[in-house]
Structure 1
Amino acid sequence: MFELLGLSEMAAAVEQGSISPLELTNIHLQAIEAKNPRVNAFIEVYAEEAIDRAGTPLTGPLAGVPVTVKDSFDIAGRVTNCGSLLRADAVATRHSNVVDRLLNAGAILIGKTSTPEFLYYYETDNRLIGRTNHPLDEARTSGGSSGGEAAAIASGMSAGGVGSDGGGSIREPAHFCGICGLKPTPGRVGAGGHWPEIAHPTGFMGVAGPMARTAADVRLLFEVLAGYDPRDPFSAPVPLQSQSARRARIFVITGYKTELACTQAPHKAAVLLNELGHSVEEFPFALLSEAHDLWRLLFVDYLTAGIRDMVQGREDDCDWTGLELTRYARETIDASRLGRILLERDRMRARLLEFMGNDAVLIAPAFGVTAFPHRQCPMDLMDAIRPVSPANLLGLPALVLPMVSTPEGMPAGVQLIGAPWTDELLLDLAVRLEHARGSQWLTPKSLPTTTTNTTTPTA
Structure 2
Amino acid sequence: MQIYSACGAITAPQKHKVTLQPAERECIPTPVTCVEVVEAYVERVREVNPLINALVKDRFEEALQEARQVDKLLSEGPDDDSLEEKFPLLGVPITVKEAFSLHGMPNTSGLVSRRNVIATSDAPVVSRLKQAGAIPLGVTNCSELCMWFESSNKVYGRTNNPYDLQRIAGGSSGGEGSVLAAACSVIGVGSDIGGSIRMPAFFNGVFGHKPTTGVVPNDGQFPIAQGARTSLLCTGPMCRYAEDLEPMLRVMAGSGVNKLKLDEKVSLGKIKFHCMDHDGGSIFVSPVDKEILQAQKKVVEHLKGELGVQVQPVAIHKMKYSFQIWSAMMSCKDSDGQEAQLFTDLLGDHGKPVWPLWELMKWLVGMSSHTLPAIALGLTEKLVKLNPAGNAKLVSMAKSLQEEMEALLGPDGVLLYPSHPTVAPRHHSPICTPFNFAYTAIFNVLGLPVTQCPLGLSSEGLPLGIQLVAASYNDHLTLAVARYLEKAFGGWVLPGQV
TM range (shorter): 0.7 to 0.9
Q: How does 1:46-85 map to 2 (within 5 A)?
A: 46-57=59-70, 59=83, 60-85=87-112
Which residue number in structure 1 is paired with residue 402 of structure 2? 349
Which residue number in structure 1 is paired with residue 238 of structure 2? 211
Which residue number in structure 1 is paired with residue 336 of structure 2? none
So what's the TM-score if we normalise by structure 1?
A: 0.87
Which residue number in structure 1 is paired with residue 302 of structure 2? 272
1:320 pairs with one of 357, 371, 379? 371
Determine if the alignment matches structure 1 residue 427 to structure 2 residue 463.
Answer: no
Task: Decide whether the 8 Å contact of 2:150 with 2:430 is kept in 1.
Answer: no
Which residue number in structure 2 is paired with residue 190 of structure 1? 217
CA shift, 1:11, in A, is 8.3
Which residue number in structure 1 is paired with residue 119 of structure 2? 92
Which residue number in structure 2 is paired with residue 402 of structure 1? 454
Determine if the alignment matches structure 1 residue 255 to structure 2 residue 286.
Answer: no
- The aligned amino acid for 1:218 is L
Q: Which has the larger displacement, 261-270 or 87-96?
A: 87-96
Q: How does 1:4-43 map to 2 (within 5 A)?
A: 4-8=7-11, 14=18, 18-43=31-56
So what's the TM-score if we normalise by structure 2?
A: 0.80
Which residue number in structure 1 is paired with residue 363 of structure 2? none
Task: Decide whether the 8 Å contact of 1:251 with 1:281 is kept in 2.
Answer: yes
Distance 1:380 1:300 in 2: 21
Task: Decide whether the 8 Å contact of 1:120 with 1:325 is kept in 2.
Answer: no
CA shift, 1:300, in A, is 7.5
Task: Decide whether the 8 Å contact of 2:208 with 2:239 is kept in 1.
Answer: yes
Q: Would the alpha carbon gap of residues 301 and 132 (structure 1) be closer, same or farther in structure 2, given more than 3 Å must change? A: farther
Distance 1:2 1:71 in 2: 23
2:199 pairs with one of 156, 159, 172? 172
Determine if the alignment matches structure 1 residue 282 to structure 2 residue 313.
Answer: yes
Q: Would the alpha carbon gap of residues 245 and 427 (structure 1) be closer, same or farther in structure 2, given more than 3 Å must change? A: farther
2:249 pairs with one of 222, 227, 230? 222
**Number of residue pairs the alignment of both structures matches:** 436
Q: Would the alpha carbon gap of residues 7 and 388 (structure 1) be closer, same or farther in structure 2, given more than 3 Å must change? A: farther
1:113 pairs with one of 116, 140, 145? 140
Task: Decide whether the 8 Å contact of 2:292 with 2:422 is kept in 1.
Answer: yes
Distance 2:481 2:232 in 1: 23
- Structure 1 stretches lacking a partner, 5+ long: 230-234, 443-459
Task: Decide whether the 8 Å contact of 1:243 with 1:428 is kept in 2.
Answer: no
CA shift, 1:86, in A, is 1.8
- The aligned amino acid for 1:4 is C
Q: Deviations over 1:67-117 (max 9, x none)?
A: 001011112343311111122354333211111111111111001000111
RMSD: 2.9
Q: Would the alpha carbon gap of residues 147 and 325 (structure 1) be closer, same or farther in structure 2, given more than 3 Å must change? A: farther
Which residue number in structure 1 is paired with residue 345 of structure 2? 309
SS at match of 1:289: helix
Q: Would the alpha carbon gap of residues 137 and 255 (structure 1) be closer, same or farther in structure 2, given more than 3 Å must change? A: closer
Determine if the alignment matches structure 1 residue 244 to structure 2 residue 280.
Answer: no
Task: Decide whether the 8 Å contact of 1:304 with 1:329 is kept in 2.
Answer: no
CA shift, 1:267, in A, is 1.4
Task: Decide whether the 8 Å contact of 2:206 with 2:238 is kept in 1.
Answer: yes
- The aligned amino acid for 2:476 is E
Task: Decide whether the 8 Å contact of 1:272 with 1:437 is kept in 2.
Answer: no
Q: Deviations over 1:16-61 (max 9, x none)?
A: 9811110000000001111101110012110111011001036512
- The aligned amino acid for 1:193 is G
SS at match of 2:69: coil
Determine if the alignment matches structure 1 residue 436 to structure 2 residue 488.
Answer: yes
Task: Decide whether the 8 Å contact of 2:414 with 2:468 is kept in 1.
Answer: yes
Q: How does 1:445-456 map to 2 (within 5 A)?
A: none
CA shift, 1:341, in A, is 4.4
Which residue number in structure 2 is paired with residue 447 of structure 1? none
Distance 2:332 2:213 in 1: 22
Task: Decide whether the 8 Å contact of 2:99 with 2:221 is kept in 1.
Answer: yes
Q: Would the alpha carbon gap of residues 441 and 116 (structure 1) be closer, same or farther in structure 2, given more than 3 Å must change? A: closer
SS at match of 1:109: strand
Distance 1:7 1:346 in 2: 42
Distance 1:226 1:96 in 2: 13
Q: Percent identity?
A: 29
SS at match of 1:323: helix
CA shift, 1:245, in A, is 4.5
Distance 1:11 1:154 in 2: 26
Which residue number in structure 2 is paired with residue 232 of structure 1? none
Which residue number in structure 2 is paired with residue 415 of structure 1? 467
SS at match of 1:347: helix
1:133 pairs with one of 136, 139, 160? 160
- Structure 2 stretches lacking a partner, 5+ long: 20-28, 74-82, 280-286, 334-338, 360-366
Distance 1:354 1:428 in 2: 21
CA shift, 1:423, in A, is 0.7
Distance 1:335 1:95 in 2: 40
CA shift, 1:154, in A, is 0.5
SS at match of 1:381: coil
SS at match of 2:183: coil
Q: Would the alpha carbon gap of residues 277 and 290 (structure 1) be closer, same or farther in structure 2, given more than 3 Å must change? A: same
Distance 2:178 2:410 in 1: 36
CA shift, 1:133, in A, is 0.7
Q: Would the alpha carbon gap of residues 236 and 368 (structure 1) be closer, same or farther in structure 2, given more than 3 Å must change? A: same
SS at match of 2:383: coil
